[in-house]
């Protein structure tokens, strides 16, 4: 517990110092990693605590991202204009689906509610039928593939393959100005902290213990009178909302949202980060997401074509030799060191 608090304080200090010591480019990369860390918290909650191997978290990330992008595009286009990609696509009138996103309150609500609603409905359909394990993983992966195909096919509505880009404003912040970029980074750091806190409280609650029980013995939980489908659906919905929030922050930080960022491969990359860090520990999942994406940036600069193979090999190595991830390795080392401490010497009276 003491080491956990010390680590938390160190992380907060480092995040606070980052805008001072990092260049705007590196700070933007760190802010992007924080977005992936928010998704990792949701994956750790669903997979590590609930046993739901979700391979399609990119869908919910994309729903939140596109909801935010639609608002930002309408804001830049003005009351009488059309987003730039619609003009290039020959669209003459704003589609009805877009009109509510001109309201910032509606857009912010959609960032969380749309991914949550999709996950809730999917969870009800899937978990009621007792679909789990590899079947659920394949289903979630298929959902990601279908979502990308849908986006690509709607050129005039979503920007197609190119997606949406060229964002310069974010709720009054100038995204081209370093101060605006620092403010967006701060928002991402705060959202990550709140997300971690919510997940931590959930894990420690009675619901969290019930979720672990569902993971370890779903039939036994059902025999005791609880409905595992409800528990899993709620958890899956919460993880989707977290992914939607991350996607919404990703848009102003990176400046683009496109199908290439949401498909099967990006979803697997999110999962790899959680596996490397440790899916059973929330802090481990966050550290893994940041570390893997930093490594991706680092290695892809020199080994762009070999990164995917390296990433796949890393995933296999972790699953085979360290199934609890780096957090499990650290915990094991701490246990061994503590067990070697000499027993206290009893002093005779």
Banded model confidence at residue 239, pLDDT cuts 50, 70, 90: very high
Overall average pLDDT of the 292-317 stretch = 76
Distance from C-alpha of 145 to C-alpha of 147, rounded to nearest angstrom: 5
Distance from C-alpha of 140 to C-alpha of 119, rounded to nearest angstrom: 10
Q: Which two tokens stand for residue 87?
A: 């003009």
pTM over 0.85: yes
Strands 256-257, 164-165: pairing is antiparallel
Predicted local confidence at residue 1, as pLDDT: 54
Predicted local confidence at residue 114, as pLDDT: 95
Predicted local confidence at residue 176, as pLDDT: 87
Predicted local confidence at residue 251, as pLDDT: 94
Overall average pLDDT of the 204-225 stretch = 91
Distance from C-alpha of 174 to C-alpha of 75, rounded to nearest angstrom: 13
User: Residues 6 or more apart from 193 whose CB is under 8 A from it?
Assistant: 12
Distance from C-alpha of 255 to C-alpha of 183, rounded to nearest angstrom: 15
User: Residues 6 or more apart from 140 whose CB is under 8 A from it?
Assistant: 53, 54, 55, 56, 57, 59
Q: Report pLDDT digits (tens) over 50-91.
A: 989 888 888 999 999 999 999 999 988 877 678 888 888 888
Predicted local confidence at residue 349, as pLDDT: 42
Mean pLDDT for the chain overall? 86
Q: Report pLDDT digits (tens) over 90-122.
A: 888 888 888 899 899 999 999 999 999 999 999
Q: Report pLDDT digits (tens) over 123-152.
A: 998 998 888 888 888 888 888 888 888 888
The partner residues of 173 in beta bridges, in order of sequence, read 170
Distance from C-alpha of 211 to C-alpha of 197, rounded to nearest angstrom: 17
Distance from C-alpha of 148 to C-alpha of 164, rounded to nearest angstrom: 14
Burial class of residue 320 in the structure, from the number of CB atoms within 10 Å of its CB (0-12 exposed, 13-18 middle, 19+ buried): exposed
Query: What is the C-alpha end-to-end distance of the chain, expressed in Å?
Result: 34
Q: Report pLDDT digits (tens) over 61-70.
A: 999 999 999 9
More confident residue, 134 or 45: 45
Q: Which residues of 47-60 are buried (b: 16+ CB within 10 A; e: fewer)?
A: bbbbbbbbbbbbbb
Q: Is the pLDDT of residue 341 over 70?
A: no
Lowest mean pLDDT of 30-44, 151-165, 173-187, 231-245, name the range.
Answer: 151-165
Overall average pLDDT of the 236-261 stretch = 93
* % pLDDT > 90, the chain: 36
Q: Is the pLDDT of residue 16 over 70?
A: yes
Predicted local confidence at residue 182, as pLDDT: 92
Distance from C-alpha of 71 to C-alpha of 108, rounded to nearest angstrom: 9
Overall average pLDDT of the 236-251 stretch = 95
Q: Is the pLDDT of residue 343 over 60?
A: no
Domain boundaries, the chain: 1-339
Predicted local confidence at residue 348, as pLDDT: 47
């Amino acid at each position: 517990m003491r080491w956990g608090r010390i680590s938390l304080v160190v992380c907060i200090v480092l995040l606070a110092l980052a805008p001072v010591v990092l260049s705007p480019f590196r700070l933007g990369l760190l802010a992007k990693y924080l977005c992936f860390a928010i998704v990792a918290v949701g994956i750790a909650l669903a997979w590590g605590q609930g046993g739901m191997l979700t391979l399609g978290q990119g869908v919910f990330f994309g729903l939140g991202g596109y909801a935010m992008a639609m608002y930002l595009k309408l804001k830049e286009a003005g009351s009488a204009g059309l987003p730039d990609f619609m003009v290039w696509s020959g669209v003459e009138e704003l589609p009805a689906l877009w009109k509510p996103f001109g309201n910032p309150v509606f857009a912010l609500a959609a960032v969380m509610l749309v991914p949550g609603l999709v996950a809730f409905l999917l969870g009800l359909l899937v978990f009621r039928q007792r679909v789990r394990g590899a079947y659920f993983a394949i289903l979630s992966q298929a959902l990601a593939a279908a979502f990308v195909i849908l986006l690509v096919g709607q050129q005039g509505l979503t920007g197609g393959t190119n997606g949406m880009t060229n964002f310069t404003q974010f709720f009054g912040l100038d995204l081209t100005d370093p101060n605006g970029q620092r403010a967006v980074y701060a928002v991402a750091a705060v959202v990550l902290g709140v997300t971690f806190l919510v997940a931590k409280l959930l894990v420690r609650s009675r619901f969290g213990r019930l979720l672990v029980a569902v993971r370890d013995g779903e039939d036994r939980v059902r025999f005791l009178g609880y409905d595992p489908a409800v528990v899993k659906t709620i958890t899956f919905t919460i993880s989707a909302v977290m992914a939607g929030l991350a996607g919404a922050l990703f848009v102003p930080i990176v400046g683009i949202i496109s199908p290439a960022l949401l498909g099967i491969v990006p979803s697997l990359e999110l999962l790899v980060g959680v596996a490397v860090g440790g899916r059973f520990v929330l802090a481990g999942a966050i550290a893994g997401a940041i570390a893997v994406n930093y490594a991706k940036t680092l290695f892809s600069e020199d080994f762009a074509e070999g990164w995917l193979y390296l990433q796949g090999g890393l995933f296999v190595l972790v699953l085979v030799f360290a199934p609890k991830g780096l957090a499990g390795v650290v915990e094991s080392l701490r246990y061994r060191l503590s067990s070697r401490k000499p027993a206290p010497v009893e002093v005779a009276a």
